[in-house]
Amino acid sequence: MDKTASGLTNGLLGVLIFSGSLPATRVAVQDFDPQFLTVARAAIAGLLGLCLLLAFKEKRPARGDLVSLAIVALGVVVGFPLLTALALRHVTSAHSIVFIGLLPLATAIFGVLRGGERPRPAFWLFSALGSALVVGYALMQGLSASLSGDGLMFAAIVVCGFGYAEGGILSRTLGGWQVISWALVLSLPIMLPLALILLPPSFSGVGAPAWFGLAYVSLFSMLIGFVFWYRGLAQGGIASVGQLQLLQPFFGLALAATLLNESVTVSMLAVTVAVILCVIGARRYAG
């Protein structure tokens, strides 16, 4: 398998794993406080990442990599999980998933700013069209009706795109699983004490679905998904592979409908199909 095909395969596996993140978070915040969920998932994943680094005797990253690792940590370890957890107290996971269609554009922009990539003009046309469809859908649903939830989701997309691009660049030298593991370990001295401080006084009211949600976002969303995702970005290019995120709403809506019995409207499906067509066009002109 050539490097481009391998990058797309790894990227798609990452997207499939990430697709379950918002539905799992939606389930978890029914019984867990969003702040506790954010720090707990990071602490659990950080401890697992530390075990991996020690088991494989990985060398420490260079001092010059610490700033990039801090950006990754702030973007995908803290920022995106916290902002989405807060947003999901105001909007359904089906509604929030549509905003994921903005991630490819955010990732591509930061890929250009930080990674020096130069997609062709047609790429930006398709990427912007996909993003416009997502924003248009949100406006049609009445943005003012859930201003706080939609605002939090938009902020989550910006910080996540920054963290994705920075991690993709760093993965070229450190490796995919090493980047997310070191970013998690870097945040561990803060996340672990906060998790203990915010620990609920009792878990008696926490149901099995919420525990499953916490387990999923800790193991898969915070660690395993990034192993494939960052490897894919490093192999196939940040802007190019990043467009696969436009497929995430489709998988996420299917999960929301199947697992949470949430309503998936015809307009949601129409937007999802449209952005999938955009990713095909963007992929063709990414390099």
Residue 54 burial by CB count (10 A; 0-12/13-18/19+): exposed, middle or buried? exposed
Q: Which of 248, 188, 173, 260 is nearest to 223 (CA)?
A: 188
Angle between helices 225-236 and 176-197 (to 10 degrees): 140
pLDDT, mean of residues 229-258: 85
**pLDDT tens-digit map of 140-166:** 765 555 778 888 998 999 999 999 999
pTM of this prediction? 0.86
Q: Which two tokens stand for residue 280?
A: 């095909």
**pLDDT tens-digit map of 201-210:** 999 999 999 9
Measured distance CA(282)–CA(176) in Å, rounded: 24
**For residue 94, pLDDT beyond 80:** no
Instruction: Select the more confidently predicted residue: 267 or 52.
Output: 52
DSSP labels for 249-268? HHHHHHHHHHHS-----HHH
**For residue 190, pLDDT beyond 90:** yes
Tell me the pLDDT of the chain averaged across its residues: 88
pLDDT number for residue 39: 95
Q: Which of 88, 91, 109, 101 is nearest to 136 (CA)?
A: 101
Which DSSP category does 223 fall into? I
Instruction: Select the more confidently predicted residue: 43 or 2.
Output: 43
**For residue 258, pLDDT beyond 70:** yes
How many separate domains does the chain show?
Answer: 1
pLDDT number for residue 142: 58
pLDDT band (50, 70, 90) for residue 276: confident
For residue 20, the SS3 value is coil
CA-to-CA separations, 51 to 54, 55, 188, 226, in angstroms, rounded: 5, 6, 12, 16
Measured distance CA(123)–CA(246) in Å, rounded: 14
CA-to-CA separations, 9 to 137, 218, 250, in angstroms, rounded: 29, 23, 17
User: Which phi-psi region, left, alpha or beta, contains residue 261 (left: φ > 0; alpha: ψ -120 to 50)?
Assistant: left
Residue 280 burial by CB count (10 A; 0-12/13-18/19+): exposed, middle or buried? exposed
pLDDT number for residue 1: 65
Does residue 251 contact residue 15 with C-beta atoms inside 8 Å? yes
Which DSSP category does 58 fall into? P
pLDDT band (50, 70, 90) for residue 43: very high
Torsion over CA: 203, 207, 211, 216 (sign):
negative
For residue 56, the SS3 value is coil
Q: Which two tokens stand for residue 50?
A: 């530390």
Helix boundaries (H) for the chain: 3-18, 21-28, 34-55, 66-72, 80-87, 93-99, 103-115, 121-140, 147-174, 176-197, 208-216, 225-236, 238-242, 248-259, 266-284
Question: What residues make up the domain containing 161?
Answer: 3-197+206-284
pLDDT band (50, 70, 90) for residue 211: very high
Q: Which residues contact 245 (CB under 8 A, 6 or more apart)?
A: 15, 18, 100, 101, 103, 104, 107
pLDDT number for residue 270: 85
pLDDT number for residue 243: 87
pLDDT, mean of residues 55-65: 92
- Distance separating the N- and C-terminal Cα atoms of the chain: 19
Q: Which of 73-87, 190-204, 262-276 has the lowest mean pLDDT?
A: 262-276
